Chains A and B, each alone.
Chain A
Amino acid sequence: MFTKKKKKNNPAEAASIPPMGIRMIAREFRKDKLAIFSLVVLIAIILFAVIGSLVLDQDVVTKVDILERYTKPGEVNMDGHKYILGADEGGRDILGLLIYGTRNSIFIGFAITVITSIIGVSVGLISGYYGGVIDNILMRIVDFVMILPIMLIIIVLVTIVPRYDAMSLVWIMSVFYWVGKARLFRAKTLSESRRDYISASKTLGTSDFKIIFRELLPNVSSLIITNLTMNFAANIGIETSLTFLGFGLPAKTPSLGTLTAYANNSETLSNRPWIWIPASVLILVLMLSINYVGQAFKRSADARQRLG
């Protein structure tokens, strides 16, 4: 409200203040047609997965029908059901699996991103703000996790966790993937907390908690948004890779990874491409569009790189 009023009263001054936050991002997107296109594609994929999974019944999609094993795309079965993209080895409709798989992959990627961001940003802020012993201890932990062969340890954990399900995977991955973020946000906080406004706030007697979450956090928010987007793509990539190897989501939960994992069978890989190619292409498109949107966010957060 305030900025709007100001704009009316003094247009010259308003023009000299660059727009911030959402409006800056919107301006960056208007300048870059490809970014808008990526955003549209991304939203379309998400809608396709969400609406599709509301319309289709999961039990019907994952029901095994051995008579329809490896049905070719476009064939119609006796009940009049058309397999637009064909069927997998259990006679399940690829299109249905694709819808549920996309939804699950997106959900899991998102859950991991949110959890690791909460841990990573908090640790980074605390470590960077307080410094000293706290910083030392936290950063030693981060350094140690960083040198672990994370992927292999996740695979080992996946095989030994009892009652393994999708949420277990989310937690196992989150335990390891917050460290990069902690390090990034610590560096950012370190430089930010040297600024005058923080010192001023400290002199005024503002509590540490308030400084960290009311003053530091908004100032690193553009980095959070950028990092969140890029990380979302990366996490979907890691989840699908793990599932592809057979150590991600359990086989009963459809995911883009489980669909591509059929390609582990060389017969399917070479002669039944309809099973794994749609999922692979969808992963590809998803990755490219999320990353491109992330790049646009990144540019709008950094004045030197802006197009608009």
Chain B
Amino acid sequence: MWKTILRRVLLMIPQVIILSILIFLLAKMMPGDPFTGMIDPTIGAERIEELREQAGLNDPWPQQYVRWVKNALHGDFGKSYTYKYAVTDVIGDRIGNTIRLSLFTVILTYLLAIPLGLYAGRYQNSKFDKAVVIYNFVSFAIPTFVLALLTVYLFGYKLRIFPTSGSVSIHETKGTMGYFMSQMHHLILPAIVQALLGTATTIQYLRSEVIDAKQMDYVRTARSKGVPTGKVFNRHIFRNASLPIASNAGYEITGLIGGSVVIERIFNYPGIGNLFISSITERDYSVITALTLLFGLATLLGTLLSDIIMSIVDPRIRIQ
């Protein structure tokens, strides 16, 4: 198993290199550089040119790329143009919020999807199953931003049950129970919206797996042995059906981090998705580059995680 994982990790190295080159070139294509903002009558064009030369911005791009990677490995992505401090700190201030939201969403998604999928498959064609199928269809079809807008309008602005912006109330002090409760209060609505729309794949998989498994030999054996029906479904079938779901978990998490852009925007939630949008509008290129790289790496790690989980739960994969 370790061999498989090692091989999979080695496979990731060229991917990381190509990804970083791509993002570096994108960053190069963006208009302006750190010195463009300094142009004014007191500093001549020659002085700017001198500074550019000193910073190595006139070197051929492979050279610049190597320097950029070296700095990035030391955690130096330069300074944010809008916030006037290190990019890593700007991101560090907000990434916790995004991770908290993503984790909470993942937990909610599975809490919702696993029982629904399992019972819909178990009682196929029942009223419950039909309702789940309809819910699945609707949640698959609705775009995130539409549902988010409607919920924030209804629950945030009209009923005033949930806050419409921020990640924590400004009146609470850090470390207290109230602070934690306030954080949760801000999390619930965006997390529920994302979880409600994120269950489709899991339910679909689980439901059809359970339906297929009912005909399988091992299920018949278990039942003829006298294993209680509930146990057959919740232990035997679920373990087998959870395979594709486990392997999907990695993608699920990265999907959430990417999807956070929309949800954080609508709920005015101060995470990195919101930071990305505001940096784009402010043309804060050093932050944009760092964030794109971060999202890219997160996606890579997610697929890696999925493959590793897969090779742990399904030994057949390891042979390949």
Find the residue from A247, A260, A269, A292 having the highest chain B CB count within 10 A.
Answer: A269
Count how many pairs of residues, one from A and one from B, have CB atoms less than 8 Å apart in the complex: 105
**Chain A residues in 8 Å Cβ range of B140:** 291
Q: Is the interface of B mostly helix, strand, loop or mixed?
A: helix
A-B contact pairs, 12 of them (CB 8 A): A148-B19, A152-B291, A152-B292, A157-B26, A160-B26, A245-B261, A269-B149, A269-B157, A270-B164, A287-B142, A292-B137, A295-B137
**Chain A residues in 8 Å Cβ range of B141:** 233, 287-288, 290-292
Stretch at the interface among A20-28, A78-86, A96-104, A276-284: A276-284
**Chain A residues in 8 Å Cβ range of B146:** 260, 280, 283-284, 287
A156 and B26 contacting across the interface, CB-CB below 8 Å: yes
Residues of B within 8 A of A (CB): 15, 18-19, 22, 26, 29-31, 137-138, 140-146, 149-150, 152-153, 157-158, 164-165, 258, 261-262, 265-266, 268, 276-277, 280-281, 283, 288, 291-292, 295-296, 298-300, 303
Find the residue from B146, B165, B296 having the highest chain A CB count within 10 A.
Answer: B146
**Separation of A269 and B296 alpha carbons in the complex (Å):** 32
B295 and A149 contacting across the interface, CB-CB below 8 Å: yes
**Chain A residues in 8 Å Cβ range of B303:** 147
- Determine which of B31, B138, B144 lies in contact with A241 in the assembled complex, contact meaning CB atoms within 8 Å: B144
A247 and B280 contacting across the interface, CB-CB below 8 Å: yes
Find the residue from A156, A157, A246, A277 having the highest chain B CB count within 10 A.
Answer: A156
* Residue A240 interfacial (CB < 8 Å): yes
**Chain A residues in 8 Å Cβ range of B265:** 245, 264
**Separation of A40 and B180 alpha carbons in the complex (Å):** 50
**Separation of A237 and B265 alpha carbons in the complex (Å):** 16
* Residue A151 interfacial (CB < 8 Å): yes
B149 and A276 contacting across the interface, CB-CB below 8 Å: yes
Known: A148-B299, A264-B265, A269-B152. 4 other contacts (CB 8 A): A147-B296, A156-B292, A263-B266, A287-B142
Find the residue from A152, A156, A244, A295 having the highest chain B CB count within 10 A.
Answer: A152
Tell me the minimal C-beta distance from A271 to chain B in angstroms. 8
**Chain A residues in 8 Å Cβ range of B276:** 152, 155
**Chain B residues in 8 Å Cβ range of A147:** 15, 19, 296, 299-300, 303
Name the residue of chain A whose CB is nearest to the CB of B294.
A149
The tally of residues in A whose CB lies under 8 Å from a CB in B reads 39
Tell me the minimal C-beta distance from A211 to chain B in angstroms. 30
Name the residue of chain B whose CB is nearest to the CB of A294.
B141
User: Which 9 A-B residue pairings sit nearest by Cβ, starting from the closest?
Assistant: A270-B157, A149-B295, A237-B143, A291-B141, A287-B141, A280-B146, A288-B141, A149-B296, A244-B145
**Chain A residues in 8 Å Cβ range of B298:** 149
Q: Which of A41-83 contact B (CB under 8 A)?
A: none
Tell me the minimal C-beta distance from B311 to chain A in angstroms. 17
B137 and A152 contacting across the interface, CB-CB below 8 Å: no
**Separation of A213 and B294 alpha carbons in the complex (Å):** 42
**Separation of A280 and B154 alpha carbons in the complex (Å):** 14
**Separation of A195 and B280 alpha carbons in the complex (Å):** 51
**Separation of A277 and B152 alpha carbons in the complex (Å):** 12
**Chain B residues in 8 Å Cβ range of A233:** 141
- Determine which of A151, A160, A247 lies in contact with B29 in the assembled complex, contact meaning CB atoms within 8 Å: A160
In the complex with contacts A149-B295, A266-B164, A159-B280 CB distance below 8 A: yes
* Residue A144 interfacial (CB < 8 Å): yes
**Chain B residues in 8 Å Cβ range of A284:** 142, 146
Bits for A145-168, please: 1 = Cβ < 8 Å to B, else 0: 001111111011101100000000
**Chain B residues in 8 Å Cβ range of A218:** none
**Chain B residues in 8 Å Cβ range of A241:** 143-145, 262
In the complex with contacts A147-B15, A149-B296, A160-B31 CB distance below 8 A: yes
* Residue A273 interfacial (CB < 8 Å): yes
**Separation of A295 and B141 alpha carbons in the complex (Å):** 11
B137 and A291 contacting across the interface, CB-CB below 8 Å: yes
B280 and A270 contacting across the interface, CB-CB below 8 Å: no
**Separation of A244 and B280 alpha carbons in the complex (Å):** 14
Q: Which of A232-276 contact B (CB under 8 A)?
A: 233, 237, 240-241, 244-247, 260, 263-264, 266, 269-270, 273, 276
Tell me the minimal C-beta distance from A63 to chain B in angstroms. 27
A152 and B258 contacting across the interface, CB-CB below 8 Å: yes
**Separation of A244 and B277 alpha carbons in the complex (Å):** 12
**Separation of A159 and B281 alpha carbons in the complex (Å):** 9
In the complex with contacts A152-B292, A244-B145, A270-B153, A144-B18 CB distance below 8 A: yes
B149 and A151 contacting across the interface, CB-CB below 8 Å: no
In the complex with contacts A153-B26, A291-B137, A246-B281 CB distance below 8 A: yes
In the complex with contacts A269-B152, A273-B153, A151-B261 CB distance below 8 A: yes
Tell me the minimal C-beta distance from A28 to chain B in angstroms. 16
